[in-house]
C-alpha cells in the first residue's frame, strides 16, 4: 500500500510543521530576538513574563490528534540545563489545518547567572504521531537579554550581515555584473543592499541614518529609521552605485547622534567588483 501511494505521487498521511515563532511580538531577525524591560507583559510564577506565539500545521491529508508541544530554553553555553517554559498538551489538527498558539513565558530575571540563550519549540515532542517528515518539527531563536541586570545603554546601535546583489561575499568581496542591476540612472546602477540593524538599548533610537561609502566617499544615504528598544530590522533596498571597484562601507548613525556602545559595530564593509560595464 505504501509503495502504491509513493508511485502514484500521493502525499502520505501526516506531516506536522511549525513556524512563525515570536517572543514579545518580535520575530527572529537572523535568528535573534532581543528582550528588554519594555517587552514585559506581566508576571508568571512570580517572574516577569513575555507574550509568546508560534504556528503549527498539518500538511498531511489525515488528522493528527493527541500530540504535545514543548518549548525549551537553555543557556547558550550549556544546552544540558534546558527548561520547559511552555507546553501544550492534547493538540489536534485536521488535514491541512493550521493553528496559532499564544501563551506567556517567563525567565528568572533576578538570577545573576541568567545568560543569553536559545528558545526552541518542538511539536509532537513525545513522538506520538507517525509522520512522513520528522525534520520540520522544531523552530528556534537566540534570545538576548538587555537591561534586566546592572546598567544598560539607552540606545545601542549595531549593524551586521552585509550582502550586495543577493550574494554572499567570497573572501570579503562580491562581484556584480551589468545584467544583475535593478536599474540605472545618471551613470549609476542599482543593486540590492541587505543588512541588519539592531538596537540593543532599553530606549528607542529615532531618526537614524544609514550612510553608504565607496572607498571612503559618500554616494548614498537612507534616512529616518526608528528602532524600538531591542528591535532588529532586516533592511533590503536598491542602492545606486557609481561603477568603481573598491571597498563598500555601510554605517549606521554616521553622525553619532547616539554614543557608540561597547561591543556594537557602527559599520560593515566588503569589497565590490563590477564586471562587464
- The C-alpha cell that represents 103 in the structure block: 501563551
- The C-alpha cell that represents 156 in the structure block: 545601542
The pLDDT, as a whole number, for residue 48 is: 87
The pLDDT, as a whole number, for residue 8 is: 43
Phi and psi, residue 3, nearest 5°: -65, -40
The mean-pLDDT minimum among 71-75, 101-105, 202-206 falls in 71-75
The pLDDT, as a whole number, for residue 2 is: 38
Judge contact between 271 and 252, C-beta under 8 A: no
Phi and psi, residue 243, nearest 5°: -80, 95
- The C-alpha cell that represents 166 in the structure block: 543577493
Kindly state the average pLDDT of the residues 223-248: 97
Tens digits of per-residue pLDDT, 131-169? 989 999 999 999 999 998 777 899 999 999 999 999 999
Adjacent-strand bridge partners of 167? 164
Q: Which domains does the chain have, with CATH numbers?
A: 2-145 (2.60.40.10), 157-275 (2.60.40.10)
The pLDDT, as a whole number, for residue 1 is: 37
Q: How many other CB atoms are found less than 10 A from the CB of residue 151?
A: 6
Quote the mean pLDDT of the chain.
92
The pLDDT, as a whole number, for residue 6 is: 41
Whole-prediction pTM = 0.90
Of 225, 220, 221, the closest CA to residue 235 belongs to: 225
What does the radius of gyration of the chain's CA atoms come to, in whole angstroms? 23
The pLDDT, as a whole number, for residue 3 is: 38
| Strand pairing class (267-275; 173-177) | parallel
User: CA dist 29 to 63, 103, 156, 206, 231, Å?
Assistant: 33, 21, 17, 20, 9
* Rounded (5°) CA angle 208-209-215: 145
Buried b (16+ CB within 10 A) or exposed e, 164-184: bbeeeeeeeebbbeeebbeee
Amino acid at each position: 500500500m505504501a509503495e502504491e501511494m509513493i508511485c502514484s505521487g500521493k502525499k502520505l498521511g501526516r506531516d506536522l510543521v511549525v513556524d512563525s515563532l515570536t517572543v514579545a511580538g518580535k520575530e527572529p531577525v537572523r535568528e535573534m530576538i532581543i528582550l528588554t524591560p519594555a517587552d514585559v507583559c506581566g508576571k508568571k510564577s512570580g517572574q516577569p513574563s513575555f507574550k509568546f506565539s508560534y504556528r503549527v500545521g498539518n500538511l498531511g491529508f489525515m488528522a493528527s490528534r493527541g500530540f504535545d508541544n514543548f518549548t525549551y530554553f537553555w543557556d547558550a553555553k550549556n544546552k544540558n540545563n534546558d527548561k520547559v517554559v511552555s507546553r501544550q498538551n492534547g493538540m489536534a489538527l485536521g488535514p491541512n489545518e493550521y493553528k496559532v498558539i499564544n501563551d506567556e513565558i517567563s525567565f528568572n530575571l533576578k538570577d545573576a547567572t541568567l545568560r543569553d540563550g536559545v528558545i526552541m519549540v518542538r511539536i509532537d515532542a513525545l513522538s506520538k504521531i507517525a509522520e512522513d517528515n520528522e525534520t520540520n518539527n522544531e523552530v528556534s531563536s537566540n534570545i538576548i537579554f538587555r537591561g534586566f541586570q546592572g546598567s544598560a545603554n539607552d540606545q545601542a546601535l549595531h549593524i551586521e550581515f552585509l550582502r550586495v546583489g543577493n550574494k554572499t561575499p567570497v573572501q570579503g568581496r562580491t562581484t556584480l555584473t551589468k545584467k544583475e542591476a535593478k536599474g540605472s540612472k545618471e551613470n549609476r546602477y542599482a543593486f540590492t543592499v541587505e543588512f541588519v540593524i539592531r538596537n540593543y538599548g532599553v530606549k528607542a533610537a529615532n531618526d537614524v541614518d544609514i550612510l553608504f561609502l565607496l572607498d571612503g566617499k559618500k554616494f548614498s544615504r537612507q534616512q529616518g529609521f526608528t528602532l524600538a528598544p531591542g528591535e532588529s530590522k532586516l533592511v533590503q533596498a536598491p542602492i545606486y552605485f557609481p561603477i568603481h571597484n573598491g571597498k563598500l562601507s555601510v554605517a549606521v548613525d554616521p553622525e553619532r547622534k547616539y554614543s557608540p556602545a561597547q561591543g556594537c559595530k557602527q559599520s560593515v564593509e566588503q569589497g565590490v567588483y563590477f564586471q562587464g560595464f
